[in-house]
Structure 1
Amino acid sequence: MENHTITSEMKDSFIQYLIQEEKSRHTVEKYQRDLKKFTRFLGAREITKDLVIEYKKNLSERYAVSSVNSMLASLNHFLQFAGWYEFKVKQMKLQRQVYCPEEKELTREEYNRLVNTAKFMKKERIGLIIQTICSTGIRISELIYITVESVQSGIAYATGKGKSRQIFLPHKLRMLLMKYIRKNRISRGPVFLTKEGKPVNRSNVWKEMKALCATAKVLAVKVFPHNLRHLFARTYYRMEKDISKLADLLGHSSINTTRIYIVTSGTEHRQQIERMNLIL
């Protein structure tokens, strides 16, 4: 009878498999965390379909549906890798959100306050990082592709997962970045560097953004790099109403992912309902 125990060797092989698939470092780390969570639940037991279903139920009692589905996707990917197809489980059904909760959406006005606060506090680098992410829609991991060369040409090239896409830099952003480059005497390579001369990372940016919140009077829960990407998406879609083009700009392989980015706020949704004027 086949043994269905997850060994350390299997976990190591799975990570190497993900790396060979050219998954990003962030994605590989997420798969590791999710698999570790499942193995803790499993303990010394062998995998059975009943245990995987129990694990799914356990997750559903502790996490939001979207988080549960994300963790189940990681687990199913591992089970497929191991050849244990019979243990894979279905994701939970999630009704598509009609609007984004207001307490989570970063508004244009709040974005303006963050940028102005960075200027007021003389935090030039984080102010420019915020504007760069928001005006281009790039991921925080793609900030490294904003180089002296890309600022000069007006086009950055982001690569990952075997794909490459062009990122166009707005003229006003290029002017600001060129001024910053000259002031800091950056001759080539990534524009945004730490004091040690290394490219800034997710942790650096997150911490510096949070430090602006109190003075900017913006809830800290709204302030993180990915929310700037969402603001870019909503702003672009309101102007162009072209979801296919937006998906290309964001580097999404599925339009269903892009739809999540353009969900309007509860306030805007209520205003639209009021404008229908269907009460006599």
Structure 2
Amino acid sequence: MRNRELSKMDIERFRENLIQEEKSSATVEKYFRDAHAFYLFLAGQSITKEKVLEYKQGLVEKGYAVRSINSMLASINNLLGFLKCTECRVKTLKTQRRIYSAEERELTKAEYYRLVEAARNNPRLCLLLQTICSSGIRVSELQYFTVEAVQQGEVVISCKGKTRTILVPGSLRKKLFDFTNKYGIQSGVIFRTKSGKPMNRSNIWAEMKKLCQVANVKASKVFPHNLRKLFARTFYGIEKDIAKLADILGHSNIETTRIYIMTTGMEHRRKIERLGLVV
């Protein structure tokens, strides 16, 4: 196939196609952002395998983490598939699977408790933290927590062509009822902005970051997805059932769930030391 240039129209069409494929809003924006960065790199030059390899090498030289590079390459390969330029796709970087997670990024239960306590003067945020962490939902799924769903005691989430049901714990259900009654929310989405729209990732992220100093928790640990990961690790620590956890989290690939339940390096070191093999 002859070489072709990448236009802004191509990027917009790619974005629309992702939406039609019912990708999550976060995935659409991520792929679009990566595709636009590749467009800027090409600067009007034709798409060739050599240029894609050059772009890949540039990411390495800029010092991006392997996982980040592979994530960006996945976006570009998806774009090339959409453009029917599959011969220009490149391989991701090989990496040994990690057996433990980075401590500087992992939120502990104690730190979570401090964040909740620091949010007491912001009732909506305080309850939002507990809702995500006690249910394991994605931040994009918070919109499914409606007054009607809480009344039923279960939240039906439809995402990426799949539907799953989240049971609302009794203690959380009571807190949600108290909140909606106090603030006169009679129907629809519970966590909403002043304009009545569901809170989005950026709203929540910004509010959470304000808690870091008061809660004495590193900013690198404070983001919505870490609440979901804390739920996963806590659930697995009790149940030891990774298949059930994958269903609750909505993972189609159990390998994704394995990433969620990694212990930190410190915990891994303690387990190794408990083997008692150094005499």
Common fold: TM-score over 0.5: yes
| Cα displacement (A) at 1:9 | 3.1
Q: Distance in 1 between matches of 2:119 and 2:51?
A: 50
| Cα displacement (A) at 1:136 | 0.3
SS in 2 for 1:95: coil
Comparing 256-265 and 22-31, the one that deviates more: 22-31
Partner in structure 2 of residue 2 of structure 1: 2
Partner in structure 2 of residue 72 of structure 1: 73
| Cα displacement (A) at 1:66 | 0.7
Change (3 A) 1:50 1:112: same
Give the TM-score normalised by structure 2: 0.96
Q: Distance in 2 between matches of 1:240 and 1:133?
A: 19
Change (3 A) 1:183 1:265: same
SS in 1 for 2:150: helix
Partner in structure 1 of residue 184 of structure 2: 185
CA displacement, residues 86-114 of structure 1 (integer Å, 9 cap, x when unaligned)? 11111111211121111111000000111
| Cα displacement (A) at 1:55 | 0.9
Identity %: 55
Amino acid at match of 2:19: I
Superposed CA RMSD in Å reads 1.2
Partner in structure 2 of residue 34 of structure 1: 34
Partner in structure 1 of residue 247 of structure 2: 248
Structure 2 residues not aligned, in runs of 5+: none
Partner in structure 2 of residue 264 of structure 1: 263
Partner in structure 2 of residue 276 of structure 1: 275
Q: Distance in 2 between matches of 1:197 and 1:35?
A: 32
| Cα displacement (A) at 1:135 | 0.3
Q: Distance in 1 between matches of 2:202 and 2:17?
A: 27
Counterpart mapping for 1:11-160 below 5 A: 11-62=11-62, 63-119=64-120, 122-160=121-159
Partner in structure 2 of residue 238 of structure 1: 237
| Cα displacement (A) at 1:219 | 1.0
Structure 1 consecutive aligned stretches of length 4 or more whose deviation exceeds 4 Å: none
| Cα displacement (A) at 1:240 | 1.2
Q: Does 1:173 align with 2:185?
A: no
SS in 2 for 1:103: helix
Partner in structure 2 of residue 161 of structure 1: 160
Q: Distance in 1 between matches of 2:2 and 2:226?
A: 46
Q: Distance in 1 between matches of 2:7 and 2:118?
A: 51
Amino acid at match of 1:255: I
Q: Distance in 2 between matches of 1:169 and 1:218?
A: 28
| Cα displacement (A) at 1:262 | 0.6
Q: Distance in 2 between matches of 1:48 and 1:198?
A: 43
Comparing 228-237 and 58-67, the one that deviates more: 58-67
| Cα displacement (A) at 1:158 | 1.1
Q: Distance in 2 between matches of 1:39 and 1:200?
A: 31
Q: Distance in 1 between matches of 2:236 and 2:101?
A: 15
Q: Distance in 2 between matches of 1:24 and 1:243?
A: 24
Give the TM-score normalised by structure 1: 0.96
Amino acid at match of 1:148: V
| Cα displacement (A) at 1:267 | 1.5
Amino acid at match of 1:44: G
Amino acid at match of 2:256: T
Amino acid at match of 1:81: F
